[in-house]
Amino acid sequence: MIVFLFCTGSARAQDNYEIQVYPSETMAPKTLLIELHSNFTVEGTTTTQFGMLPTEHQAHETIELTQGINDWSEVGFYIFTAAKNGNGIDWVGDHIRPRVRVPPRWHWPVGVSLSSEFGYARPAFSNPTWSWQFMPIVDQSIGRWYWSVNGTMVWNIHVVPPPVIFTPEEKQAYYRDVAPQGVTFGPAATLTYAPSKYYNIGIEYYSYYGQWGNFVSLHNQQQQFFPVVNLFVSPKWEINLGAGWGATAGTDHLIVKGIVGRYFDWSHHRAGGSKSTQ
């Protein structure tokens, strides 16, 4: 039973470093986006579980760099950090994330892209440590409405072994519910409405269902809902603010998050000039 409770901290931990639903659009060529993902767990786990630190009152700061390659691909790079009173600031890990999309000239009715994220996170903060994420993304804008679905699948390449004192049954439950060795599934989605071109409001959904073919019970799944606001105050900036409510026992109960991003144009072309695409 204790294993089921513990799964709340382990499976969720990595995702809580960059809480974001992706659009299908990729970064424009020769454009770099630098984002700071900040989130703070107001109400989460309070005890160390399988060597993982408690999440409550833990602050996560993630720097994400995304560089556009061409009009259908980009590469992202993450630096994850965590801070907690008494523990200082810790480097958590790094991921790299190439992403490709269906170019607009294919005229698909929805935007489609495929993200692949690979990297490492320290066992004190994440289980698995090494992971490879595949994520098909589908989205669409219809008038003022926008929706996006991210079908997040993670291959847990290396998971922390269970304590040696576990019985075979407990070990089996551990690999099923806490640290599956196969591919896990946790879709995310968003729906927003834009009253103005300067902001939209909406809801984001994040989840963790467990291992493919062997989902954990609803009670122990992660089901998290974030009312959000996205601000478009300038073409050079993006801001996302939200507060997330965990709907199951397996989810941190309250997280607040913010993303601040700044675009940098490396083309050095003058706006409106003979090489500018703007």
Q: Give contact residues for another protein (rule: CB under 8 A).
A: 25, 71, 104-105, 107, 140-146, 194, 196-197, 232, 235, 269-270, 272-278
Q: How far apart are CA 157 and CA 155, in angstroms?
A: 6
Residue 171 or 269 having the CB closest to another protein: 269
Residue 168 or 272 having the CB closest to another protein: 272
Residue 107 or 164 having the CB closest to another protein: 107
Residue 122 or 269 having the CB closest to another protein: 269
Residue 31 or 141 having the CB closest to another protein: 141
Residue 212 or 266 having the CB closest to another protein: 266
Do the beta carbons of residue 221 and residue 207 sit within 8 Å?
yes
3 state SS for 160-202: CCCCCCCCHHHHHHHHHHHCCCCEEECCEEEEEEEEECCEEEE
Of 87, 25, 33, 28, nearest to 60 by C-alpha is: 87
The count of other CB atoms within 10 Å of the CB of residue 270 is 10
Local structure of 8: helix, strand or coil:
helix
Q: How far apart are CA 27 and CA 229, in angstroms?
A: 21
Local structure of 247: helix, strand or coil:
coil
C-beta of 185: minimal distance to another protein in Å? 29
Phi, psi at residue 218, to the nearest 5°? Answer: -55, -40
Q: How far apart are CA 95 and CA 111, in angstroms?
A: 24
* Bridge partners (DSSP) listed for residue 215: 210
- Quick one: DSSP state of residue 4? H
- Quick one: DSSP state of residue 6? H
Do the beta carbons of residue 8 and residue 43 sit within 8 Å?
no
Residue 167 or 196 having the CB closest to another protein: 196
Q: How far apart are CA 238 and CA 260, in angstroms?
A: 6
